[in-house]
Structure 1
């Protein structure tokens, strides 16, 4: 048995101590004890998402798999050797379990107030091996096709992913995370097993526990579990080959009011180490320009051109970054023109001031510390394998940000960025 010890890091801004180690098999493990909670959240994250359907393998060279492969694999890993759904085993232990796939990651999580180590065993079993058959894959195709159709019938989901497809045409981001009708039907057992073998290695995974945990108990557990030596990670992930954006597009659906998205694609390079801070800077900029505290929002709201549906999505990592604003409006053409113009001329925007920045920062501080009372928020927002700053650095980063920093981030995104809009009109 190899003894495991955790290194401590204290984050004064949030008054929390995070314990972190890397096991001999390559798995990164982090703990955040919070004794004022009864519950524990455990989450395993694999650095494998929807954009990774194409990659270069050291052994096999360039590999192309059907879109949606990461999400499909997430579904199938819940199938145990005896064909039982492992979710039922979590339930018998009194735990809730779930999983989700994003553009760059796949995560499996549980929450429990008891039987922590038994639940950890189940989580370990879930990501350690595959047990599906041709027959079970065919059944799952039908289930995921239904899920895809549900998203296709949802106007907000359709708006977001259609906008994303126009930002990143002919790339993995142009297809929904679940895949397309054709790609789902093209997925086979061989695809799933190959992707599992390539990506589901401890060296490409992390485990994070937050809540009512005893560090010593977890140390002992990890000492027994980390014995097997992992193969090295032998996959090179592909950079997105950016094509010209599709500047404007629309479709018709059963909606009561038009839905508009205005979005911008960043074309510069962002390092992983700076991505978290850059994300915050862009949220500050676009909230000052379009958030409910802005003069622009109040003016549009009072004249009935905009309502509280306005939403902001910012995504930043080393492979792609974008900002998408979505809203319900009876005047999509007019608002698209106004929003595009405001974004291009952001440096002279009267809503971008020191006073407004302080107000938005205060709001973000409040929202953050409120969210930190949720174990689920912490579990799903922190990844032990993230480079650079994390959510535990958020208050420090926010406090240090100046108006000049925000404007610099704006120039970095907007000066060479590409704008698009997408509208869903009533059928």
Structure 2
């Protein structure tokens, strides 16, 4: 027995396995979800982009904001021992996407619709639906100014809920954050208002009072709800252009028939947002109710060194969606078992099984070959447990005559012994 202590995964960072007790930890569900995502993103004309998980810390400080919880408390940051640079594991995907677009000049006379998928990292307390390594799917529309793209992103996310069978258990909340100058005027009025209520503010609200007062309105503390509800409304400080953008955005949602709730306290946790913001929420996951969020961020590209360029996007948490799908019984239709399980025994059968498997795969079938010398009965049980539709049985007689015996494991068809070409035809007939 080894005396060495086992090394385990870091807290809040999950292994995703071929077999597991829940959807979050089972790779079949992830692969099924990713299959849906690829077809869905392609149907809207969004193209895939892949960026490193490690970036210069300054990218996130400049984009997300140095007064946000993410930058202040949650990023995994360290000093590169080779050159002394401060590096961080990415806590979200938009900043990396924009950095890559600027670095490679993708916006030169050509707006971009992009999507990404991958792990993000935040050092926070772990709980159901919230992990230190978590995964997101995001979509970014770069170079599009009008509210029609804002509405397209809503339509895109709504389309995914319909594909996944989740449209009846999520709801859409929308708001507008106006422009920077309008938020500054509102911020001054909000600070004055909050200062008048300092005696009831909790520690989190006091910490944000002068650095990010808009986030105080998003408090989940029941004792602060009435105070937050009566605070000055950003809407009261919006100018004509911002109001027109928002009203057109809402009219487009109405025209699409997508229901929504206006939530004037919806502010988002990242500094780069302006104008339209939105969240898709559910009541079926407890405290982790937001499964997708986004909005417009017209100033971010300029903030990161590019020319002033309009942009909008969203990100959704894969783990939370899988939790919701698990509750609703979704995704099982997308999990594809093997078509054929090859059972083999006897002299020459292992090689013949290998050759047969290759021929069947070349014909377009997914094939598992049994690779041990257990009994036919045991192998047939394994074939049934695999979920395969058909079994191919190869014994010494099949090897000698260069034939295969085929068995339908799911329907009442008679077992047949045929050559490989006739077997392929028979599989297609039975399917």
TM-score (norm 1): 0.22
Structure ranking higher on relative contact order (CA contacts 8 Å, 6+ apart): 1
Which of 1 and 2 has greater Rg? 2
TM-score (norm 2): 0.22
